[in-house]
Amino acid sequence: MIKKILLLFLCLNFLFLCLIPLGCDEEDTSGNNSNAKLSSKIGYVYAPVKPQIGRSGLSTGLIALEQNVPPEGYKAISGARVIIGNSKVDADDKGNFKISNIQPGEHQMLICASGFQPVVQVTAVSAIGSATVAIDTLKVIPEKAVVMKGDFMPFMAVGKDPEGNFIPLSSATWSVLNGDKNEKKELGTVTNTGLFKGNETGFVKVIAASATYTASSEATILDPAGTNTGTLTGKVSLASGSPVDGAQVVIPGTNLMSETDKDGKYSILDVPSDISLTLFVVKHSTIVGSGSIQLEKWKEKIMDIIATSNPPPIPEDANSVVIKDSTPLPLTTGTISGYVLAPANGDKPEKNFQSLSVIQSKIVPKGHMGISGVNVMLEEDPSISCLTSSDGGFTLNNVPLKKEGGPAYVVVVLDGYVSLSAPVLINGEYPPGAVTKLEIYPENPVIPVGGVLEFKVVTYDRKGQIIKTPKLDWFYEGDRGNLEPEEGIFSASKIGHGTISVNYGDISTKKNFKVIDKSETGSLSGVVLDKKEKPVKNAFIILDNSPWIGITDDEGKYNILWVLIGEKIPLSVKVDGKLCGDALASVGKGASAIEDISVNLTIEKQSIDPNSIDKPSIPDIPPASINPENTSGNNNIGNLPSNVVSSKITPTPREEFPRWPGGSQEDSNQKENKEKVKNNKSDESMFPRWPFSNSSEK
């Protein structure tokens, strides 16, 4: 019995000793299998064909997708760097990339490209070979997302594999459900690959469904111009306290970014409030820190970030993508396009007191028509000019964009009509932003009865910089005319005062205007001389209280047929777009006042002759017009009815509107009077400002 027990003990001991190396072999084999399970990520990097410029001065809109066809309006980006964990690769000429040696599961994917803001996307990597996914673990990533209106966001359906990793589901059916059941608009769309696009602001659920299970993600679609915002500031530093300078702090989904200064400090304006956001700190193509934030409306939040890894002081290799300096780049140029209209009744302007008008909408007010051959010049630089085409359309190119101030102004000139200065908006890549202020232009609106005026609104952010203009709502209550509620075009029908208002959300502003007839005007003429008493030609004489302007001829003479009556009316003189002089004028009812002006030309420049500009070829056809018998209302330019009649307007020879009283000849008294012009002021004993029409009024 004892021998049997001893024999059994020896056998068990032998087996135990044999199992020890087997256990070691099993552990090593498991480690090798873990390495063998490393997988790869394949995709393409795209960017908008016409990317918007963020406040950082860098382009926005980078995106990485698995599809080999770019979304509409996007193109492949070569040389972009894609990073997942410690693995990184550069995209080829077609934007294609493949990152190897990645553990299957969820990851943060960093995308960098020269000239673009870095982007962080949530993604998932599949296991090598077929892997079973537990259907009851299905979920959509990212689980919560912020998307700017008009932007794309890739979603993925993932489920757990036997190892517990969330890997992409091979197939899913995608749909979008509005968070507000009463909302009838289609706030967003999603493709069969999970690519979501935000169309309208609001809250939606992005849903992925398999044969037996459904999961969803929450997406908030924001409009930069209409979102409540706050300000985020803070400092990025290492655990030792040393600042991390030159790092990019980005907030995915918002196109917002700031770069840390030498002290590691950053500041981001117009961060969406009342919503949970995630930010990442990127330096030299490496994510070195992150954090979660939620701001309150109009308040500043301070968030200091400790870098989770020591950011490399220099790019790791010669092929690293170096993000360009994010100092805001100067806005470049844009275009101004629109139409010049004239009354369609064919009467000469001095008879019915109607004038040219400028609109940028395609809606033609009733009783007006586009008119060809009008010289359109940029007030700030008359060398930028063109002639209107047969439908009255014009386009000015290479117009410098304005960061601050009001809109641009164009001057329109046509024989037989009083020249006009009108506000216009520049079509350019203005950055989006949170609207904090609206301003309506022109500053002092005056509309002739029977005429039209398109009001312009400039939108500003909290720093007072011009941002992209959103869709606005216009309002008018009164009987002085009619207002087109979407475009802000007012058609005046009755003299008197009125007020229009414009709203964007809870932000609004108002503007008073005046409708006048010819009885409330006089005329103003004079001569513009430099300090050497030489005539200044092609100078613009701009009045503070009227839209009509004067342009000097070769002898420096100007004549403004209509001027709103008043005393001490401020006027300014611009030569080649530069302010060169000013004066005060007084104009009486029905009177012909005279104001000679002396200007200081600090820089000798050749003035632009409006009549010497290269004129594009214009088809020899009458201007597009509205049939005076058509009483149906507004018509669209370019879609005029077939029964329109040609314009009855015949440009009146300039001789019928002499720029100087008495024609082009000067008598001896006028020559003597010119010698008495001193300090931008007329000698009132020689040029009475308030002449009377008959002896009974004297």
Query: Predicted confidence band at 346 (pLDDT cuts at 50, 70, 90)?
Result: low
Q: What is the CATH number of the domain that holds 543?
A: 2.60.40.2070
Q: Are 496 and 524 in contact (CB under 8 A)?
A: no
Residue 342 counted as domain residue: yes
Q: What is the mean pLDDT of residues 232-247?
A: 91
Asked whether residue 438 falls in the same domain as residue 472, the answer is yes
Q: What is the CATH number of the domain that holds 393?
A: 2.60.40.1080
Phi, psi of 349 (to 5 degrees): -65, -30
Calculate the average pLDDT of the chain.
78
Q: Which of 461, 485, 519 is at the close of a domain? A: 519
Give the model's pLDDT for residue 623. 40
Is the per-residue pLDDT at 682 higher than 80? Answer: no
Asked whether residue 463 falls in the same domain as residue 547, the answer is no
Asked whether residue 539 falls in the same domain as residue 476, the answer is no
pLDDT in tens, 118-177: 999 999 998 776 566 776 788 999 999 999 999 999 999 998 877 788 888 878 899 999
Is the per-residue pLDDT at 673 higher than 80? Answer: no
Asked whether residue 436 falls in the same domain as residue 357, the answer is yes
Rg (CA), the chain: 35
Q: Are 433 and 60 in contact (CB under 8 A)?
A: no
Give the model's pLDDT for residue 645. 33
Tokens of 306: 């400790």
Q: Are 365 and 354 in contact (CB under 8 A)?
A: no
Residue 233 counted as domain residue: no
Q: Are 115 and 323 in contact (CB under 8 A)?
A: no
Phi, psi of 452 (to 5 degrees): -130, 155
Q: Report the alpha-carbon distance of residue 440 to residue 501 in Å, rounded.
A: 9
Domain residue limits at 497: 333-519
Asked whether residue 535 falls in the same domain as residue 684, the answer is yes
Give the count of beta carbons closer than 10 Å to the beta carbon of residue 133. Answer: 23
Q: Where are the alpha helices (H) located in 37-67, listed in sequence order?
A: none
Give the model's pLDDT for residue 618. 42
Instruction: Give the three-state DSSP class for 697.
Output: helix
**Number of alpha carbons in the 13 Å side-chain half-sphere of residue 10:** 6
Give the model's pLDDT for residue 430. 74
Asked whether residue 451 falls in the same domain as residue 539, the answer is no
Residue 536 counted as domain residue: yes
The number of domains in the chain is: 2
Instruction: Report strand pairing: 368-370 vs 248-251.
Output: unpaired
Residue 353 counted as domain residue: yes
Which of 88, 56, 432, 514 lies closest to 227, judged by CA? 432
Tokens of 42: 């394949």
Give the model's pLDDT for residue 161. 79
What is the length of the chain?
A: 698
Give the model's pLDDT for residue 11. 57
pLDDT in tens, 439-471: 999 999 999 988 899 999 999 887 788 887 777
18 membership: H or E segment, kind and range: helix 2-36
Q: How far is CA 50 from the centre of its chain?
A: 12
The whole-model pTM stands at: 0.57
Residue 362 counted as domain residue: yes
pLDDT in tens, 386-402: 999 999 999 999 998 87
Q: Report the alpha-carbon distance of residue 401 to residue 430 in Å, rounded.
A: 8
Is the per-residue pLDDT at 669 higher than 50? Answer: no
Phi, psi of 133 (to 5 degrees): -110, 130
DSSP string, 522-561: EEEEEEEEETTS-B--S-EEEESS-SBEEE--TTSEEEEE
Asked whether residue 508 falls in the same domain as residue 580, the answer is no
One-letter identity of residue 481:
G
Helix, strand, coil % in the chain, rounded to nearest 5:
10, 45, 50
Tokens of 33: 């299998």
pLDDT in tens, 588-619: 888 888 888 888 875 444 444 445 444 444 44
Asked whether residue 341 falls in the same domain as residue 373, the answer is yes
Asked whether residue 564 falls in the same domain as residue 428, the answer is no
Residue 643 counted as domain residue: no
Residue 559 counted as domain residue: yes
Is the per-residue pLDDT at 31 higher than 60? Answer: no
Residue 136 counted as domain residue: no
Asked whether residue 407 falls in the same domain as residue 456, the answer is yes
Q: Which of 519, 542, 558 is at the close of a domain? A: 519
Asked whether residue 398 falls in the same domain as residue 511, the answer is yes
Give the model's pLDDT for residue 604. 43
Q: Report the alpha-carbon distance of residue 532 to residue 556 in Å, rounded.
A: 13
Higher pLDDT, 10 or 42: 42
Q: Which of 490, 519, 548 is at the close of a domain? A: 519
Asked whether residue 347 falls in the same domain as residue 465, the answer is yes
Instruction: Give the three-state DSSP class for 225.
Output: helix
Q: Report the alpha-carbon distance of residue 259 to residue 248 in Å, rounded.
A: 5
Q: Name the least confident of 241-250, 326-335, 493-502.
A: 326-335
Q: Name the least confident of 10-14, 35-39, 537-541, 679-683.
A: 679-683
Q: Name the least confident of 145-159, 281-295, 297-311, 660-674.
A: 660-674
